[in-house]
Structure 1
Amino acid sequence: MTIPAKFKEYIWLVNTIRRARRITFAEINERWVETDMSGGVELARSTFNRHKDAIEDIFGIYIDCDRQNGYQYYIGNDYVLREDSVQNWMLSTLSVNNIISESLSLQERILLQPVPSEGNYLRMAIEAMKKGVRIEVDYRKYGTDTPNHLNFEPYCIKMFKQRWYILGHFHRDATEEKPESDYFGVFSFDRILKMSMTDIKFQIDPDFDAQTYFDECYGVLVGDGTKPERIVIRAYGYERYYIRDLPIHKSQREIGQGENFADFELFIRPTVDLSGHLLSRGNQVKVLSPQWLADELHDMHLEAALMYEPEEENCPQ
């Protein structure tokens, strides 16, 4: 996809201000003239103002001005670019796309991973969220042949490890036969066989915050009853550098280091997907606490090792 010229300018402007933290219009113009986009022509003040408005409308990122300190521009809501937000995802994706689109001559030497789109179902779910209506889906869990028919309120959508998930809210008023029921469920788009929007309206809980809902999670497992707790891991060799650069969770902080290791603390739900991730790091990561999790990972490593033991041959009688 080729990004239109205006979008390239928007992306450049946000990245320039973000990197500088505080920058005057004159400094922006100095850097603008050095780009190929400028054609050697300075950025007009009116164009700059239109770009600011468009960036706020399209990306939800607003550029503010500190008039008390030399009329310096800065990202007024910079926090949205430091978390798993739509703004951050859009800006990062378009920035990378912009770079790649200008390097098509190297397309055979730039290797990418496929990005899930989920076609009409993703679009339909977002449309239902906009309209505030419930959706119906036929959903087939792994290991089952018969799909379940579900009807729920679409609360939010989350991408994790190249898969799209939808958080559904289920509510049933109390009856003479059944008590009131109120709970959430997370469903993967790639297991939805059929989806349709209903005409049933709903009001999202005003206290619900999608970011907060998944704050304590490694991925998307929330409703299995696992409580968050303090976890300390030790990373050896090069793995400690990887974990520093790409934290396992936003609560991660480094609490110690030795000659060939570093210790990290996390406050997170120790769900099975977190155990799977730690297990995948092999002998490069060790859980120091809690002890029950260390024992669980120890047993999982032993079970995995047993799978590679040679099978005994049946001796003929």
Structure 2
Amino acid sequence: MAKIEQMLRLKFIEDFLRSRGNRGASYEEILEYLTDKYTQKDIPADQLKFTKRTFLRDKAAIAEVLHTDIIYRRATNTYAIDSDLEDDMQEQVFDNLLLVEAYRELKGKKNIMIFEQRKSRGLQWLHGLVHAITHHKIITLQYTKFWEGIPYKKTLQPFALKEFNNRWYLLAQERNDDSGFLKTFGLDRISMLNISTSSFKPKDHDVEQHFKHSFGIISTLDQSPSQIILSFDAEQGQYIKTLPLHHSQEILVDDEDELRIKLTLVPTYDFEREVLSHGNRVKIIAPEDFRDHMKAEVTAMLGSFS
């Protein structure tokens, strides 16, 4: 069985057991569920080849790959999820895997899955950059800034990759820069990448701390966050609840008139653009200086139309 189908089977088993909650499921019920899945995909049931031994191997793989433990209850002869530990990165990877599987099922048919046409490119560099980051290799690349249009040669120490608004960014430090400051480089603006055989000694960067109080790709390390309070109309609030603006989001009011939330972050340029994108469906309640700053932004925008 191809690797992608093996990974999907693991995800199907995990999802099924999560849906069963504390009840769990027997091996026979898991087999029946997987058989139905294969039938839906027009795959002959005899290709499943899902034996008890296969399931036990899958059970171990789920613990290793998905960080989810499955326990066996002898009294009921059932299996159940032992931990609710969630790994956002693992979930996103497997969400993309499910997207690939859905795309495969199209079998050339058009106008069924309509993808975003503005997606940024540069993903061809991902594999090499992951290798360089995990092996602490110095890299050289050609990088073109949007506002200059001239490619520059950069020699960098790569530390991490970050996604924002359908773009991937490399977080790296200039080779001779001892400040500890991480710069961001959009993968879609890289035109050449060379991975050196030379290694560097990585500094103790807690990359997540660089962006703990950020919205987007602007590092806010060593900056004090503000408590931003926003009020959305009730309809727009439904979207904000299902796709929170920031991991710090707290709901203060949720009724038929509004959704009021509190965010703890540094209001960078990226965040300002996000607030403006909601138009008159959002009100800035606090802090006052941020509200005044955004009023000035809107006033300037209106002036540009006159």
TM-score by length of 2: 0.83
Is residue 154–residue 174 contact of structure 2 (8 Å, CA) maintained in 1?
Answer: no
Q: Deviations over 1:258-315 (max 9, x none)?
A: 5421210111121010000100110001111111111111111122122222xxxxxx
- Name which of 80, 102, 117 aligns with 1:73: 80
SS of residue matched to 2:253: strand
Deviations, residues 99-148 of structure 1 (Å, cap 9, x unaligned)? 34324475313211255452542222112113211112232222124444
Q: In the alignment, is the contact (CA less than 8 A) between 1:171 and 1:183 conserved in 2?
A: no
The residue identity in structure 2 corresponding to 1:248 is L
- Counterpart of 2:30 in structure 1 is 28
Equivalents in 1 of 2:120, 2:110: separation in Å? Answer: 20
For residues 31-46 of structure 1, the aligned pairs below 5 Å read 31-35=33-37, 36=39, 39=45, 43-46=50-53
Q: Deviations over 1:205-227 (max 9, x none)?
A: 4x544444322221111158753
Q: CA offsets per residue over residues 186-206 of structure 1, 9 Å max, x none?
A: 11112223321123212334x
Q: Which residue is equivalent to 2:183? A: 185
**1:252 Cα shift?**
0.6
Percent identity for Structure 1 against Structure 2: 20
**Equivalent residues in 2 for 1:133-282, closer than 5 Å:** 133-170=137-174, 172=176, 181-205=179-203, 207-222=204-219, 226-257=223-254, 259-282=256-279
Q: Which amino acid aligns with 1:19?
A: S
**Alignment match of 1:102 (pick from 101, 105, 109):** 105
Question: In the aligned structure 1, how far is the partner of 2:253 from the partner of 2:114?
Answer: 36
**Structure 2 CA distance for partners of 1:189 and 1:230, relative to 1, 3 Å:** same
- Distance, in Å, in 1 between the alignment partners of 2:18 and 2:5 is 20
Q: How many residues are paired up?
A: 296
Change (3 A) 1:73 1:208: farther
Q: What is the CA-CA distance between 1:182 and the residue it aligns to?
A: 2.8
Kindly state the Cα deviation for residue 50 of structure 1 after the two structures are TM-superposed.
Answer: 2.0
User: Which consecutive residues of structure 2, in runs of 5 or more, have no partner in the other structure?
Assistant: none
Q: Is it true that 1:12 corresponds to 2:15 in the alignment?
A: no
Structure 2 CA distance, aligned partners of 1:187 and 1:75? 40
Q: Which amino acid in 2 is paired with 1:65?
A: I
1:299 has 2:281 as partner: no
Deviations 1:67-96 (A, max 9, x none): 58855421647320xx3x1x1121101123
Q: Render the CA deviation track for 1:146-202: whole Å, top value 9, x for unaligned.
A: 4443222111011111111011034648xxxxxx53321111112223321123212
CA distance in 1, matches of 2:156, 2:241: 39
